[in-house]
Amino acid sequence: MGEKGEKLFWTGVDRVMNIVLLGFLWLICSLPVVTIGASSTALNASMSGYVRGDRRSVIKSFFAAFRQHWPLATKIWLIHLVVIAVLLWDLLYYRIGESSQDVLGATVAAVGLGLVFFELLMVFALLVEVPGLTVKTALAKALDLAFTCFLESLSIAVLTLAVPVAVFFLLPGFLPALPGLIVYLDWQILPKMFQKAKFKKGSREQNRMLRKQNH
pLDDT digits (tens, 9 = 90+) for 65-79: 999 999 999 999 999
Mean pLDDT in residue range 33-50? 96
Q: What's the CA angle centered on 113, arms 146 and 100, to 5 degrees?
A: 125
Count of domains for the chain: 1
Give the pLDDT band (50/70/90) at residue 210. Answer: very low
Phi first, then psi: give them for residue 94, nearest 5 degrees: -75, -25
SS3 category, 107:
helix
**Domain of 196?**
3-214
Percent of the chain whose pLDDT exceeds 90: 65
Q: What's the whole-model pTM score?
A: 0.87
d(CA 156, CA 149): 11
What pLDDT is attached to residue 103? 81
pLDDT at position 123 over 80: yes
pLDDT at position 207 over 50: no
What pLDDT is attached to residue 9? 79
What amino acid occupies position 191?
P
